[in-house]
């Protein structure tokens, strides 16, 4: 099997190259960049020096057609205008942008811009294998989730249908590292401005709300609206979502364990983290950085009463390139964990 990456010069593109170069059943043969055509990978991704002599190429559907599958690691708006030409030459596509995550063009327009190819929405499957494994097997487009959306949805999916939670008042407090903004820099990402911050940059109205609401609503088959507040914090990679769920009746720990175990017991990349004491008693992004794991834990607050769910992942791996490779494995009929069972280094 041959794979290619459009937009391979960026941060998710770099992690896709890294994961695909060590994948035992897929050969990475084609990577594109507009700015760096002809340059070696090491020019942009110094961690891959000595591992590959691939060079960045131009974007051409004809060249791409020599692959079996293409990853789109470009911004939203750009992806929607490239994907139709790739589908036309018979390719499967895993899109890391937001362009094919939503099912309603009006909601896409509200959060992003008018969509130029909404007719392709029906070909796309939301790229969370934990929810859509069967659908992904036949998908032409896998729309890998947004990084904060992935952490929030994975944290909430097992309990969102439980009758003991107040679905009208769910609050997700997400903290994310600087690589979440991609490679292009701005005044906000300038080191003196970005270092050492806990900056609330999306207290309300963050774009990932669209897909979080969509996916949670699909699970319970009725409209759900959650609150999402996002903060830029002083790390390079990682997300921690602290999810506050208010309870309608008293419950015990076992009432939470049960739905979580039911949904995730066999999931290869979901780990439960809930220990009575010690440094590692609840999820911490530090323990998943560089890996495709999402660590999930919870605490019950009987006084309020409230359930606090913690969900940690690496925004560039389980929140992007790792989930995308997991989708690829499913779409190509390869064992799902192939090339992805890599633990995070510790200490980091
Ligand atoms: N960063 C994250 O944590 C994260 C997580 C989940 C999903 N995503 C999504 O994944 C996608 C890539 O994110 P990223 O963080 O890797 O971004 P990035 O670091 O900015 O890289 C994107 C690359 O896309 C190329 N590109 C930009 N505009 C393009 C256009 N109009 N046509 C073709 N290529 C274009 C650029 O390469 P050249 O200029 O060299 O062509 C750029 O290096 C985005 O849609 C993002 O929302 C990111």
Residue range 65-113, pLDDT digits in tens: 999 999 999 999 999 999 999 999 999 999 999 999 999 999 999 999 9
Catalytic residue among 67, 113, 147, 294: 147
Structure tokens at 193: 């401005």
Alpha-carbon distance of 100 to 126, in angstroms, equals 8
Atom of ligand 1 nearest to the CA of 56: 40
183 C-alpha to ligand 1 centroid (Å): 7
Alpha-carbon distance of 179 to 22, in angstroms, equals 22
At 194-208, the pLDDT tens digits run 999 999 999 999 999
Is residue 294 flagged as an active site residue?
Answer: no
Atom of ligand 1 nearest to the CA of 183: 19
75 C-alpha to ligand 1 centroid (Å): 5
At 109-133, the pLDDT tens digits run 999 999 999 999 999 999 999 999 9
Ligand 1 pocket by Cβ (under 6 Å):
7, 9-13, 33-36, 73-76, 78, 96-97, 146-147, 179-180, 182-184, 315-316, 319-320
The answer to whether residues 245 and 165 touch, using CB atoms and an 8 Å cutoff, is yes
Rg of the chain, C-alpha, whole Å: 20
316 C-alpha to ligand 1 centroid (Å): 11
- The reported pLDDT for the residue numbered 88 is 97
Where does the chain hold its CATH 3.40.50.720 domain(s)? 2-144+317-331
Q: What is the pLDDT averaged over residues 306-323?
A: 98
8 C-alpha to ligand 1 centroid (Å): 8
Alpha-carbon distance of 64 to 86, in angstroms, equals 7
Alpha-carbon distance of 327 to 336, in angstroms, equals 8
Nearest CA to 230 among 166, 147, 304, 291?
Answer: 147
Where does the chain hold its CATH 3.30.360.10 domain(s)? 149-313
At 248-277, the pLDDT tens digits run 999 999 999 999 999 999 999 999 999 999
CA neighbours within 13 Å on the CB side: how many for 147? Answer: 29
CATH topology of domain 149-313: Dihydrodipicolinate Reductase; domain 2 (3.30.360)
Q: Superfamily for 2-144+317-331?
A: NAD(P)-binding Rossmann-like Domain (3.40.50.720)
- The reported pLDDT for the residue numbered 132 is 98
Where does the pLDDT of residue 319 fall: very low under 50, low under 70, confident under 90, or very high at 90 and above? very high
- pLDDT of 348 above 90: no
């Amino acid at each position: 099997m041959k794979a290619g990456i459009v937009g391979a010069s960026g941060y998710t593109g770099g992690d896709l190259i890294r994961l695909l170069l060590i994948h035992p059943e897929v050969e990475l043969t084609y990577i594109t960049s507009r700015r760096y055509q002809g340059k070696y990978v090491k020019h942009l991704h110094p961690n891959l020096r000595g591992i590959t002599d691939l060079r960045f190429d131009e974007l051409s559907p004809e060249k791409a057609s020599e692959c079996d599958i293409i990853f789109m690691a470009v911004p939203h708006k750009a992806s929607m205008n490239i994907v139709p030409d790739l589908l036309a030459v018979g390719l499967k596509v895993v899109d890391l942008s937001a362009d094919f995550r939503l099912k309603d063009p009006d909601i896409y327009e509200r959060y992003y811009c008018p969509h130029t190819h909404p007719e392709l929405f029906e070909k796309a499957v939301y790229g969370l294998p934990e929810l859509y494994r069967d659908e992904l097997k036949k998908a032409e487009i896998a729309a890998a989730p947004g990084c904060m959306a992935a952490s929030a949805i994975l944290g909430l999916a097992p309990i969102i249908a439980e009758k003991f939670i107040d679905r009208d008042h769910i609050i997700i407090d997400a903290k994310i590292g600087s690589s979440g903004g991609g490679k292009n820099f701005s005044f906000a990402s300038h080191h003196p401005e970005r270092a050492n911050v806990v900056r609330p940059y999306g207290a309300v109205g963050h774009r990932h709300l669209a897909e979080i609401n969509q996916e949670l609503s699909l699970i319970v088959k009725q409209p759900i609206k959650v609150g999402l507040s996002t903060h830029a914090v002083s790390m390079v990679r990682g997300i921690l979502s602290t999810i506050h769920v208010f309870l309608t009746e008293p419950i015990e720990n076992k009432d939470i364990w049960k739905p979580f175990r039911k949904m995730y017991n066999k999931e290869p990349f979901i780990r439960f983290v809930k220990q009575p004491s010690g440094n590692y008693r609840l999820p911490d992004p530090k323990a998943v950085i560089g890996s495709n794991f999402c660590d999930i834990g919870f605490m019950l607050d009987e006084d309020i009463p409230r359930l606090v769910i913690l969900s940690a992942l690496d925004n560039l791996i389980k929140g992007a390139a790792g989930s995308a490779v997991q989708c690829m494995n499913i779409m190509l009929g390869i064992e799902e964990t192939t090339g992805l069972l890599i633990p995070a280094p510790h200490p980091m």
